[in-house]
Amino acid sequence: MRVSVIGLGKIGLPLATQFADAGHRVAGIDIDSRVVDLVNAGTEPFPGEAHLAERLAELVPTGRLRATTDYADAVPGSDAVVIVVPLFVNDETWEPDFGWMDSATRSLAEHLTPGTLVSYETTLPVGTTRARWKPMIEEISGLTEGEDFHLVFSPERVLTGRVFADLRRYPKLIGGLSPAGAAAATAFYEAVLEFDDRPDLDRPNGVWDLGSAEAAEMAKLAETTYRDVNIALANQFGTFAAANGIDVHQVIEASNSQPYSHIHRPGIAVGGHCIPVYPRLYLWTDPDATVVRAARQANMQMPSYTVGLLDGALGGLTGRRVVVLGASYRGGVKETAFSGVFPTVAALREAGAEVLVHDPMYSDDELAAYGFTPYHRGEPITAAIVQADHPEYAELTPADLPGIEVLVDGRRVTAAARWPGVRHLTVGVGTLEG
């Protein structure tokens, strides 16, 4: 098959590589000429994705994988076009910003030829595939969906850093606008993916047709929104437990020993491209989802709550030198999308602290580009907040942070025994006094 992938980011490029590795001819499209040049040189444009570098080095020289900025060079004659272009959400209004996706869809439609399967993998509000993309593509291309081309939604369900493993591990969900479109999508994804045996599933792992684009759209929103709501519940349990001298992590471990309990873990922030964003997309089409809204708001308050723990322990933050450990939104990943570092730094500055940021994955220049003052181990500070669960932070001791009086661990990666003479606090853990 000839396949085009629009958007060569941290999901799109591994997808394109997977399709080429399955034996098909793949053209990736991206507006960033630097990314295109690197891909065509067989070089990964971003670090950290397992097995991507070696697959690019193998596939590009064979001609099975190439990149371009030109839709006219890739889309015409494609058997399938897969779109993985970012969808943004306004921080203030929580409304989706379709700007980049609208532009990509228009460019796709201008060059669409009959017989093509069009699959959107970017997470969307329910109803977007049918109500927004179908009429836009039909109007611009002059083609009719269901007759000249098929349009489906098939959400990406992978995590950066382990995309190839996740493509095998999780069922590939698809939802068409017609039975013929669903059949075409099923045939396509069965030809480009392989699946691990999953005896834990009620039906065989593979391509799962959910019956409609709307069901597939909702499935992606539901699985990510569930996590946000669950974390919010854990955070509320954690704040109550800490105020009452209880270790909520022991409570959660005990609760989850019963098979109907699956409580997540509390923490300083919920970051990344998915969990902070997709509940807002769900709320855009279901504004009456009060549980979803309350959970999102509760999780957004956790950085300020964590800074409040430090403020209380020190008796004030004015003039205190505080380091935030971790700019990444999660350990081991060089990515700051919706990272808790931003609201944590803002809350500390608002309280009058002198704030520094450390992250083993970022250079001083990279941290400075975010507006942070870089911190180096061995420099004197008053306090620290663990924001990202990088494994390096589990090995820290007071000698690494001279002068430290209080450590607030927002990720439960440090052990109090390694911090003699330092007040050690963990989000969700309280101590009974008296």
Q: Active-site positions? A: 220, 274
Give the count of beta carbons closer than 10 Å to the beta carbon of residue 49.
20
Encoded tokens for 318 = 């004015």
**Which residues lie below 8 Å from residue 309, measured CB to CB, with a gap of 6+?**
242, 408, 425, 427
Please check whether residue 101 is in contact with residue 84, taking contact to mean a CB–CB distance below 8 angstroms.
Answer: no
CA distance 429 to 417: 15
Backbone angles phi, psi at 295, to 5 degrees: -65, -45
What CA–CA distance (Å, rounded) separates 147 from 141? 13
- What does each C-alpha distance from 311 to 1, 316, 406 come to in angstroms? 60, 5, 10
First to last CA, the chain: 72
- Please enumerate, as own/partner, the contacts of 253-257 that have beta carbons within 8 Å and a separation of 24 or more: none
d(CA 141, CA 319): 61
Q: Is 5 in contact with 59 (CB distance < 8 Å)?
A: no
